[in-house]
Amino acid sequence: MGKHSPPADTGTRLHALDNLRALLMWLGIVLHVEAIYAVQRMPNAWRDDQRTLVADVVVSSIHAFRMPAFFILGGFFAALLVRSRGPDGLLRHRLMRLGLPFALFWPLLWLASGVAALFFMNLMVRDEWGLDTQVVPNLPILDSPNTIHLWFLWMLLWLCVATAVLWRLPRAWFAPIESALAWLARQPWGFVALALPLMLASAAYPRGVLAPAGAFLPEWNEWLYHGSFFVFAGLERLPDQRTAYLLELLMPHMHLALHRMRQREADESSTDMAPVTILSKREIQVLHWVRHGKTNFEISQILGISPPTVKNHVQKIMRKLNVNNRAQAVGKSATLRLVTHTDLQEVAR
């Protein structure tokens, strides 16, 4: 799967996704507060005496949106990382961002939440704060260590590890599955077929709502349910052959025409400038492969340098040309004739 051709990384942060993640975190607070007032039994150690079905509706609605959205985002970012940094880069990033914090803070959180639950259980049973030894055995959290409310991070970590392992396998092994899922997604009735694994995974649960057990070895249906969203978000959305051909023909001309309109007042003397006075030999090599749609990771493999070094060269190129992204860099270098086709071929050898 390492031969995937991802879109170029422009370095632009997607703030809409930051907003979505912030919204999911806020909904998590609302969900856990509403669960205290729900009529149905929730996995909370404490419940309020005043309960309402409205709280059940709020909890179910948030849960049905929040966790699928979380794993969709997780799959999207995992695919983004593995295509830009390779499987090793994905593994390092996820271990540092997920694995290390989990290993450091899970023991503290598990102990703290257990003690807090004991005190609240004592309050509910004895109507007073304290730690009654007769209440302790009734607390499920002490049965065995579990992931508590960090189960989703634990599962996401292992889904990313699996992605890094599978990415090393030939893409041809997975191409039929990717094509079938992409085809289903385009059909008006496709959502029904795609929902079948979710229905299968949730069928054994009350009211058809999957409730994570929080175990370190989750059941198969938890992997199937949450993994379905993770995998679907990581699929490549490539245009069909005809669309790709038309885009390949039109996009360079459209970009150059737009750039010429913005550069009418530019100094014409820059058009006679030699390539080496603007870009170094290595930067011309990098620009050559950027022009061919290669990612930083792919360029690093071709030139025998590290991905961070390639990223630094790309940033220097954009600063020298006073542009904001890779496409503009290629278009401006062609418009100003800073790097000719002959130069690129000669330096790329």
pLDDT tens-place string over residues 97-119: 999 999 999 988 888 887 777 77
User: 90 and 13 in contact (C-beta within 8 Å)?
Assistant: no
The vertex-121 CA angle with 115 and 126, nearest 5°, equals 125
Distance CA 76, CA 156 (A): 12
DSSP assignment of 120-183: HHHHHHHSSSS--TTTGGG-GGGSS---GGGHHHHHHHHHHHHHHHHTTS-GGGTHHHHHHHHH
What is the separation, in whole angstroms, between the first and last Cα of the chain? 27
Tokens 């790329």 sit at which residue? 348
DSSP assignment of 299-331: HHHHHTS-HHHHHHHHHHHHHHHT-SSHHHHHH
Q: Give me the domains of the chain, ranges plus CATH numbers.
A: 15-233 (no CATH), 270-347 (1.10.10.10)
| pLDDT mean across residues, the chain | 78
User: 103 and 95 in contact (C-beta within 8 Å)?
Assistant: no
> Tokens in use for 171?
């893409």
Residues 33-53 pLDDT 10s = 888 898 887 766 567 888 889
Helix and strand numbers (H, E) in the chain are 14, 0
Instruction: Answer yes or no: is pLDDT of 6 > 50.
Output: no
Q: How confident is the model at residue 284 (pLDDT cuts 50, 70, 90)?
A: confident
Q: How confident is the model at residue 145 (pLDDT cuts 50, 70, 90)?
A: confident
Instruction: Answer yes or no: is pLDDT of 341 > 80.
Output: no
Considering the entire predicted model, what is its pTM?
0.62
User: 250 and 240 in contact (C-beta within 8 Å)?
Assistant: no
